[in-house]
Amino acid sequence: MLKDLFKKHLAQTTDFLPIQLEIERAEGVFLFDKNGKKYIDLLSGVAVNNLGHRHPAIIEAIQKQLDKYLHLMVYGEFVQKETVELAELLASVLPQELNKSFFLSSGSEAIEGAIKVAKLYTKRNEVISFKNSYHGSTLGTLNLLGDEKYKRNFRPLIPNFKSLEFNNESELQKITNKTACVVIEPIQTAAGMITPENNFLTKVRKRCNETNALLVFDEIQTALGRSGKLFAFETYNAQPDILCLAKSLGGGLPISAFISSQKIMKSLENGHPLLGHATTFGGHPLSCSAAIATLKTLLNENIISEVEEKSSLFIKALKHPLIKEIRGKGLLLAVELGDKKLVKTFIENAINNGLLTYSFLFNETAFSIMPPLTITKKEIKLSCEIILKTLDSVLI
Ligand code: PLP
């Protein structure tokens, strides 16, 4: 049995609830298992498949690239058309200052790259993040993780990392002229979709300006349309000095980026024998081709403009005695049930009923709604019917 081999030979990541579905194919918002059972995907591979599964534009771009070449050289040595085009395209949709990209493969690497460049640029070493935040699992990003219980076993970690409370203005005085950078998600996703209140991000921006600390936005989940704008920072009147992207950028292939100004990125080149930062697969031509197709589709079709309306359809339809609150923005929603056991049972039953959802690292009493942005109104109706039916079944 494949499931037994999965458990025997693949290192496991959680004892909470490995989903263990055996998917044979995926199309649009649907996954199909080996028995032909259909699941509506409200996870999008955790905010990756913003255009759904196997979007034709992405498949076509990948197929074209397959006929040209795959890996040629490590990042930054050859002038690869796809890599340059993607960097140019990103610069064209971002504020003028954010015009230089460094491509890597995973979100954690993008965050680590951002921290390295911030340390080099500011010549400071203190890094600030927020409680209940997740920015990756590598030894570098682990320092940012906003909960000591996940870090304890790996100490000693890197010194001078501090963690502040999100949405608490008085905490911002802890950002000082010793701070190299502040790393923050515009919407705290792993905390269960906590949105900024009372212009919190504008205040963080202001404090960074006062102290000359760099502001790093982790838009690894929030970006590429999911919040209702291409980038979530567009909603909150605060522009980062460094922007980190990953997940949805590659349309299903691995690619990440940290993006900043010429001036800041220059510090990666200055004063280093060779390796300000380096990576083998960053800017891989296949991933870049898929990313260009993803971005162009999002820019040219009415997908992002419909996100808010689709979000409201979920919120309006999901009225149930077990639902205490629905938080978030756009198609980044958390449905709060207020009970961990209940959520676990709900997730299991929802999967049996043909709907895929999951809980949050720092909010196990809620389940997520983050479908492909291309989900239709009919598919939203179907999702809500399954959710309500499943909630009825766990109520009894
Ligand atoms: N930042 C955020 C907000 C994430 O959600 C994740 C992954 O879930 C990461 C960073 C790390 O990305 P990766 O798993 O690609 O290293």
Quick: pLDDT tens for 87-109: 999 999 999 999 999 999 999 99
Q: What pLDDT score was predicted for residue 273?
A: 63
> Across all residues in the chain, what is the average pLDDT?
95
Q: Kindly provide the b/e burial profile for residues 206-241, where b requires at least 16 CB atoms within 10 angstroms of the residue's own CB.
A: ebbeebebbbbbbbbbbbbbbbbbbbbbbbbebbbb
Ligand 1 centroid to residue 384 C-alpha, Å? 27
Mean pLDDT (whole number) for 178-188: 98
Residues with CB under 6 A from ligand 1: 46, 106-108, 111, 134-136, 185, 189, 218, 220-221, 246
Ligand 1 centroid to residue 58 C-alpha, Å? 22
- Beta carbons within 10 angstroms of residue 313's beta carbon: 17
Q: Distance between CA atoms of 334 and 324, rounded to whole angstroms?
A: 11
Q: What pLDDT score was predicted for residue 361?
A: 94
Residue nearest to atom 10 of ligand 1 (CA): 135
Burial of 54 (0-12, 13-18, 19+ CB in 10 A): middle
Mean pLDDT lowest among 200-209, 291-300, 333-342, 387-396: 387-396
Q: For ligand 1, what atom is nearest to the CA of residue 246?
A: 15
pLDDT (tens digit, 9 = 90+) per residue, 210-222?
999 999 999 999 9
Query: Candidates 104, 133, 135: which one to mutate for ligand 1, based on the most atoms within 8 Å of Cβ?
Result: 135
Ligand 1 centroid to residue 132 C-alpha, Å? 14
Mean pLDDT (whole number) for 276-300: 96
Angle 56-66/285-300 helices, nearest 10 degrees?
150
Give the pLDDT band (50/70/90) at residue 82: very high
The answer on pLDDT for 272 being more than 80 is no
**Residues 6+ away with beta carbon under 8 Å from 163:** 128, 129, 130, 131, 133, 144, 146
Does the model's pTM come out above 0.85? yes
Q: Distance between CA atoms of 230 and 328, rounded to whole angstroms?
A: 16
Ligand 1 centroid to residue 136 C-alpha, Å? 5
- Beta carbons within 10 angstroms of residue 378's beta carbon: 8
Q: For ligand 1, what atom is nearest to the CA of residue 190?
A: 5
8 Å CB contact between 224 and 48: no
DSSP for 164-182, written as a single string: E-TT-GGGGGG--TTEEEE
Ligand 1 centroid to residue 94 C-alpha, Å? 21
8 Å CB contact between 230 and 93: yes
DSSP 123: -
Percent of the chain at pLDDT > 70 equals 98
Mean pLDDT (whole number) for 193-206: 98
Q: For ligand 1, what atom is nearest to the CA of residue 105?
A: 15
Q: What pLDDT score was predicted for residue 296?
A: 98
Residue nearest to atom 2 of ligand 1 (CA): 135
Q: Distance between CA atoms of 264 and 241, rounded to whole angstroms?
A: 8
Mean pLDDT lowest among 53-62, 267-276, 320-329: 267-276
Q: For ligand 1, what atom is nearest to the CA of residue 247?
A: 15
Q: What pLDDT score was predicted for residue 177?
A: 98
**Residues 6+ away with beta carbon under 8 Å from 113:** 102, 104, 258, 277
Q: Cis omega (within 30 of 0) on the bond before 156?
A: yes
- Pairing type for strands 30-33 and 23-27 reads antiparallel
Query: Candidates 220, 226, 332: which one to mutate for ligand 1, based on the most atoms within 8 Å of Cβ?
Result: 220
Q: For residue 184, give the H/E element and its range.
A: strand 179-184
What share of residues in the chain are helix, strand, coil (percent, to 5)?
A: 40, 20, 45
Mean pLDDT (whole number) for 309-331: 98
Q: What pLDDT score was predicted for residue 15?
A: 67
Q: What pLDDT score was predicted for residue 265?
A: 96
Give the pLDDT band (50/70/90) at residue 274: low
Nearest CA-CA partner of 350 in 306, 379, 393: 393
Q: Distance between CA atoms of 16 and 344, rounded to whole angstroms?
A: 9
Give the pLDDT band (50/70/90) at residue 47: very high
- Pairing type for strands 355-356 and 38-41 reads parallel
Residue nearest to atom 12 of ligand 1 (CA): 107
**Residues 6+ away with beta carbon under 8 Å from 238:** 186, 201, 202, 204, 205, 215
DSSP 232: G
Mean pLDDT (whole number) for 99-127: 97
The torsion angle over the Cα atoms of residues 117, 122, 126 and 129, rounded to 10 degrees, is -60
Q: What pLDDT score was predicted for residue 7?
A: 86
Rg of the Cα trace of the chain? 21
